[in-house]
């Protein structure tokens, strides 16, 4: 038996419960509320991932020093790096497992809202069908028609979140001490590219059913706010005063 049927039934019951508040858009509201509830339940995993990322970031100055000291001797660099991680209790992969554990949940949620269950896609949001696409909205009245305005609102929200992510990433890069290398190889490139990927969400919203678009926009906005809160600057982490300070910050990040 597929898991999507019972989940669709549960969401349908939730929509019925809030219908007095949201009227014909109750199912759309239920999708948003369900997404927020799931993301709240997964928040402990996000916190664990953030702790691992902070631990790696705190060790970046020491890793840079080791790379300079053992330049040209990969074996010594490997041993010294292993000892550093063992001493601080950090790991180069810390935080990756909690992130991976969230992926199946995201897949189930996206599949549920893309294919529909218990007639979810047969409902509407401000008149726009949850099973419809942006192309249909354009055909039904153009970008500023009743259905097109729903998508323009979603596009505006995605653009605002993506721009915020990009500004935060640039501000973080500007605060990074000169000469400091990322804790993991290739992280510098990812740091530059990942904020730009937020704009790719615009394409997703345009091509998936409106129900799935609501899920994507809601979870994207949650992720942006969650990361901003979990990765806000702390004096102990931002001071960057010496090798011992970095080690202590890494240890605190691991234990907290």
Q: What is the pLDDT of residues 6-20, one digit of tens each?
A: 788 888 888 889 999
Number of domains in the chain: 1
For the whole model, what pTM was predicted? 0.76
Contact 113, 215 (CB under 8 A): yes
Exposure b/e, 218-249, CB count within 10 A at least 16 = b: bbbbbebebbeeeeeeeeebeeeeeeeebbeb
Q: 78: domain range?
A: 4-255
**Cα(149)–Cα(128) distance, integer angstroms:** 9
User: Could you read off the pLDDT of 213-232 as tens digits, one per residue?
Assistant: 999 999 999 999 998 888 77
pLDDT classification of 189: cutoffs 50, 70, 90 = low
Averaged pLDDT for residues 74-91:
75
Contact 34, 113 (CB under 8 A): no
């Amino acid at each position: 038996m597929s898991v999507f049927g019972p989940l669709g039934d549960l969401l349908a019951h939730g929509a019925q419960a809030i219908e007095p508040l949201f009227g014909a858009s109750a199912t759309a509201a239920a999708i948003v509320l369900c997404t927020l509830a799931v993301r709240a339940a997964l928040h402990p995993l996000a916190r664990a991932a953030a702790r691992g990322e902070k631990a790696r970031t705190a060790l970046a100055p020491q890793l840079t020093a080791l790379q300079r000291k053992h330049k040209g001797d990969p074996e010594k660099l490997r041993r010294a790096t292993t000892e550093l991680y063992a001493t601080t209790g950090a790991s180069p992969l810390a935080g990756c497992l909690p992130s991976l554990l969230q992926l199946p949940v995201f897949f189930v949620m996206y599949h549920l809202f893309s294919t529909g269950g218990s007639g979810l896609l047969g409902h509407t949001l401000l008149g726009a069908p949850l099973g419809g696409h942006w192309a249909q909205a354009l055909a039904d009245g153009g970008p500023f028609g009743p259905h097109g305005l729903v998508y323009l609102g979603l596009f505006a929200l995605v653009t605002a979140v993506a721009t915020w992510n990009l500004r935060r990433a640039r501000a973080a890069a500007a605060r990074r001490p000169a000469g400091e290398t990322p804790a993991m190889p290739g992280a510098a490139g990812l740091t530059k590219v990942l904020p730009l990927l937020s704009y790719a969400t615009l394409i997703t919203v345009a091509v998936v059913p409106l129900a799935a678009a609501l899920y994507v926009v809601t979870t994207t906005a949650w992720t942006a706010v969650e990361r901003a809160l979990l990765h806000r600057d702390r004096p102990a982490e931002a001071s960057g005063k010496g090798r011992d300070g970095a080690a202590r910050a890494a240890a605190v990040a691991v234990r907290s």
